[in-house]
Each structure stands twice: as structure tokens, then as C-alpha cells.
Structure 1
Amino acid sequence: MEQKISLINLSGIKYLDPEKAHFYLKNDQFLCLDYDGETYENIKLHRSIPFKLPDDFISVQDMDSKEIFLIRSLYQFTPEQANLLGQQLHKRYFSPSISRIYSVKQKMGYLYFEVETSAGRKVFALNDVTRNLRRIDDGARIVIIDVDGNRYIIEDVARMLPKDFRRIEPYLL
């Protein structure tokens, strides 16, 4: 009998079946998964397409960042399970919105920002501007990733105050 080979089989992707999965928190902080008779402890979730499809194609990874499973969509889960997964993703991808840019200073290869965000006033640094300050969604939004991996979002470039935009314009490619 001829065996069919699909791209999914070749890629090694193992889609998680929500009916066989139970996610829970160990000690109220470590995400764990019981799946088809096996337990996976201290797992983390990673959005494969974070800006366009934040609730779809979620990678379930072990502590070494090795993918165990891929979740097609959070909407496949019960509301309780989807809520738990959503909370974990929110913690990992917490991205305050920047409403004002007070200053941007360049010093020794780093950019230092002082901004107002939805989480209050923040000061942060970033390096490698071409990778860590970029336009997304056809240039309407900007994502900034600081040296600690924190993400900040400018939701709509067109709505920024002109003086704030001038502070970052030289760094936008």
C-alpha cells in the first residue's frame, strides 16, 4: 500500500488535540500540561504569528524552548482552558502602548527612550535598531523591543504628536 506523505508529516509539527489536553498551574505559577497520559511541566507558550494571529498557532514548548505541540487556535478549548492560556500569553506578551515619547537619546550604541505608556512612565534602552524598532501592519503600528525583551507598541503612527514622531523618525527604516 502506498504511504501518503504530507507537508505536515515532513515538518514534524504535532498539533495538540484539545480534547486530550488539560493545562493547569503548578504552585500557582508554572504552566503544566497533561496530555494523553503524559505530563509536561514548566512549559511555555510562544505565539508563532504574534501580530496578525495572536490566538492561533501557539507553540507549546519545554524549558529548553523545544516545541512539543502546536495549538491551532485557543478557540478550540473550553472557556476555562482558553482563559488560562490567554492569561499566560498576556503575561509573556505584555506590551504597553506608547502614548507619548518624551526623549530618545543615542549613547554608546544604544537608544534610550523616555515614554508614557498604558502602564505608566517608562525609561528603557534598545540596541540593534533595525531589529528592535520596526513597523508592522503595513507601517501603521510600531513595535519596540528593549534590551530586556519587553515589547512596547505605538498603535497608530498617524495619530502621534508630530514632535513625538520626529523623535523616532530617524530610526525608522
Structure 2
Amino acid sequence: MDFEELYRATYPRVLAYARSMASREDADDAVAEAYAIAWRRQRDIPHGAELAWLIGVTRRVLANARRTRFRAGALHALLDLQPRVPGPDPADHVEDGELRAALMALSPLDREAIVLSAWFELSGADAARVLGITHAAFRMRAARARRRLRAALSPTTTKESPTWNTT
């Protein structure tokens, strides 16, 4: 079955599944993403189980979207609980173009660990809650992120590194 036939044969049922699990907008987005994945992975779709495979992909796309929304909501909730005291502007830490470039060169996971601990000054436990991981996992992720950031900076950098809260 070619992709166009697969799409015509399965789309209404995949969409119905997604809409039974999420809002119309989220379902439409998830189904579009699922078919984009199916297009890229056509060879991986099991013959005779195409619908089940597509529903499984759609389910994972919806779950990922829920986790992303939860993490964003958790971050906003934690930030709302943080005391609003005047302090140094987090942007002061990245005035140096080299530091900014090194930070942007990190993977999103590494950058997120540094941003949560340095920018937002979240404790390791709070940052772990935002990310939906254990405190130990966050400490490890943050340590690796700091190591990668140091490695990305040139050895001639003389500015002190900002402190990061991972406890």
C-alpha cells in the first residue's frame, strides 16, 4: 500500500481516535505529526497493522504534547511561587557574546538545565519537578550541561562562571 492509500484508508479513524483523546486543535496537530512520522518511516509500518501502528504513533505524539504543556505549566507555577526580589538581571550573565553562543550551541536539554538553575535560580528539586525527572537525574543532567558549557567556551575566557543551583 502506498502512502496515499494508507492515508485515505486510515485518516478518518486515526483522527477519530485523536479527537476522542484530546481537544480538536491538539488532535489535528497530533494526527498531522503522526502522518509526517509515517511518511518518514514508511518502511517501518507493519503490513496488515497500519492502523494500529498509526494510532500508537498518534498516542505518543499526544502524550509528548501533554508532557510539554505540563512542564511549561509547572515552570510557570514554580516561578509564580518564587519571591520577587530585585536582583541581578539574568541577561547580565550572557552579555559576553562568547558565552551566549556557547549556551545556544548546547542541546535543548542541556540549555534547559542551565537556564532553570542559573536564570530562574530554581533548586535542583524544583527544576527536577518542572522536568518530570528525579532530583538525582537533574543533578546529573545539570553537571553534564555545565561541563559541556565549559568545554564550549574558549580556554581564554577569564570571566567567572555564574553559580548554578542544583541542590
Which one has the bigger strand percentage? Answer: 1
Which one has the bigger helix percentage? Answer: 2
Q: State the TM-score, normalized to the length of structure 2.
A: 0.29
Q: State the TM-score, normalized to the length of structure 1.
A: 0.29
Whose relative contact order is higher, 1 or 2, with alpha carbons under 8 Å and at least 6 apart?
Answer: 2
Larger radius of gyration: 2
